[in-house]
Structure 1
């Protein structure tokens, strides 16, 4: 990694990540107490969680958590390439 001169790192010299495992799961998170919205109270939220594991065992997490009826994204659309329960795949 190099410094661009303005304090930002440049990633041009890095090797691509050595991803060994990908896990995608759909789950529901429940708020400790409901939140109030213009559409009424919301007490839970459906999310898609992405977990990547590299060759050294390091784990990275990502999420997608659109609010149905508030944003154009929906969980079913995000999860459409996957069927069934959690998807776990080894990487070459």
Structure 2
């Protein structure tokens, strides 16, 4: 049931980079208006540290979100390791 709600959601979501001390974090954030009409932001999920996301450690999470949205997943390039002797 929650997946259906996520797929039909029409609000504004975006990725935000925040800092806490020396570390940077990547967060999925929702923009909304409260009962008084004031614009607010709510953190939906913390995706991890920025350096981990940049290193590709969040690829499986991104692919899962793309699959849930019915969109094509990211192409993962696999490079074979070949050793040559002369």
More helix by share: 2
TM range (shorter): 0.3 to 0.5
More strand by share: 1
* TM norm structure 2: 0.36
* TM norm structure 1: 0.34
Structure with the larger RCO, 1 or 2 (CA within 8 Å, 6+ apart): 1
